[in-house]
Structure 1
Amino acid sequence: MEEKRHTSLHYEKELQEIKNNLIYLGAVTEKAIQNAMKSLSERNSNMARKVIKDDDEIDKMDADIEERCIRILALRQPTAIDLRFITTAIKITGHLERIGDMAVNIAEKAIQLNEEPILKPYIDLPRMADLVGEMIKDSLDSFIRNDLNMADKVRRTEQVTDDLNEQIFRELLTFMMEDSKTIHRALMIMQVSKNLERIADHTKGIADMVTYMVTGENVRHQTSIISGEESA
């Protein structure tokens, strides 16, 4: 049975504003990740400090979107499909806010690492950052378009970031075993990698919420729609 949507034009405008605000918040968080990573690769601590300062904007946008969603829940009587949209939007903004926090963590580590001699060229970390940036875009595109294929792509890409994180960990572990003087720097780089991996986890969480919004089914810990792989 096809689910019915609302018919109010004003209501439709309110929902569209939430979509638009989420797209903007996603763009801001993606830029924060890019700048945090750039501040590390270019050893630009001023850029890192700006990422930390600008996190206040992300927090404010998160609070504003959540407030809009709660207002709709309080004043409207959402149909089942609209209720799933609103609850999904609340979850997504929470994921994006936490992604912003991860960007701050990376920026803080960049400031510390920029004061130290370079341990090794940054190759895999920028690749991970590019991947998670794409995952943010794809997860939000899947939300806007109700695109389950795109959501499933995000879940598959998350495994790639897990593999990269593991590869970076093993490589840095070798550095630490061979020279104890590298331990402090290696541990900080591991934390940068772990934060990127956690960002990927949050984008996967967005993809899972999109699947719930479209189908009404909770896909966490279930089989991936297309690939047949288990979703962790």
Structure 2
Amino acid sequence: MTRTFLDQTIQELKDELLQIERMVSHSTIEAVGALIDRDFSKSAEIYLADQKVNEKRFNVENECLIAIATQQPLATDLRILASILEIVTELERMGDYAKGVAKVNLLTREYTQTIPVINRLEEMAQIAVDMLGKAVKAFIDVDAETARALPERDDEVDVIFNEIYNGLVESMMEDQTRVGLANQLQWAAHHIERMADRVTNICERTIFVATGIMDELEESDDEWVVDLR
């Protein structure tokens, strides 16, 4: 296979990553909006649409494996293809988080109460989606500088997550009839928090492609405390 053909294959795979990222980002914002608005039909639509992300993931995996097996990629290209395999898996899991938020809304449709603190989830999701979009672009551009800086924004997500978590606990203590609803809403916040965490994995892959070194980006002390709670 010619060098040009391999370059074209890699570019097409990168384009697919971009498309999947946009699908996941859109589903995430839509899922959170539906949860806040109590739009159950929209949540059902998002829940079912996750299958499209799964299908695209498997297509990208298949194309990567074919390229590795038939086009004899050298070191840099092999790092790119291996990283695409990893990133597309991360994106599929993030799609599962959007699906999870949609599921929370569907599971809580019997509740008539609302807990206002969950409205903070919208800002949390916007930050996570912004991080994701920039992380995928950094990978495509092989922008290691951006990849190293992006995970710091996870602290912003953690601050909002803690506000939501504490607000939901407070709400349960004030009114025991809210326990079931608050527990489910905690899961919605957890899904978005995990989405932001996974952006770091994409950033690590960008640095790997740029430098050839697989280096774990350190988490902040605050995040470590949140994980232990």
Specify if TM > 0.5.
yes
- Cα offset, 1:222, TM superposition: 4.5
Q: Distance in 2 between matches of 1:87 and 1:12?
A: 15
Matches within 5 A, 1:220-231: 220=216, 222=218
Matches within 5 A, 1:185-200: 185-200=181-196
Q: Which residue number corresponds to residue 226 of structure 1?
A: none
Q: Distance in 2 between matches of 1:175 and 1:169?
A: 10
Tell me if structure 1 keeps the 8 A contact 2:148–2:217: no
Q: Which residue number corresponds to residue 227 of structure 2?
A: none
Provide the TM-score with structure 1 as the length reference.
0.90
Q: Distance in 2 between matches of 1:159 and 1:207?
A: 16
1:3-36: per-residue Cα shift (whole Å, max 9, x none)? Answer: xxx9621111111100100000100111110111
Q: Which residue number corresponds to residue 22 of structure 1?
A: 17
Q: Which residue number corresponds to residue 10 of structure 1?
A: 5
Whose helix proportion is higher, 1 or 2? Answer: 2
SS at match of 2:111: coil
Q: Distance in 1 between matches of 2:170 and 2:33?
A: 25
- Cα offset, 1:161, TM superposition: 1.2
1:80-124: per-residue Cα shift (whole Å, max 9, x none)? Answer: 111110011000000000011111110010122343124322431
Q: Percent identity?
A: 23
Q: Distance in 1 between matches of 2:23 and 2:193?
A: 19
Q: Which residue number corresponds to residue 204 of structure 2?
A: 208
Deviates more, 1:10-19 or 1:210-219: 210-219
Tell me if structure 2 keeps the 8 A contact 1:40–1:114: no
The structure 2 residue matched to 1:143, chosen from 117, 139, 144, is 139
The structure 2 residue matched to 1:86, chosen from 66, 71, 81, is 81
The structure 1 residue matched to 2:37, chosen from 39, 42, 51, is 42
Q: Distance in 2 between matches of 1:113 and 1:37?
A: 14
- Cα offset, 1:198, TM superposition: 0.8
5+ residue gaps in structure 1? 1-5, 224-228
Cα distance 1:123–1:14, how it changes in 2: closer, same or farther (>3 A)? same
- Cα offset, 1:147, TM superposition: 1.0
Structure 2: which amino acid aligns with 1:170? N
Tell me if structure 1 keeps the 8 A contact 2:171–2:178: yes
How many residues are treated as equivalent by the alignment? Answer: 222
The structure 2 residue matched to 1:105, chosen from 100, 105, 130, is 100
Q: Which residue number corresponds to residue 175 of structure 1?
A: 171
Alignment of 1:157 onto 2:157: no
Q: Distance in 1 between matches of 2:182 and 2:114?
A: 7
Q: Distance in 1 between matches of 2:159 and 2:111?
A: 27
The structure 2 residue matched to 1:70, chosen from 65, 69, 81, is 65
Q: Which residue number corresponds to residue 3 of structure 1?
A: none
> Over aligned residue pairs, what C-alpha RMSD do you find?
1.9
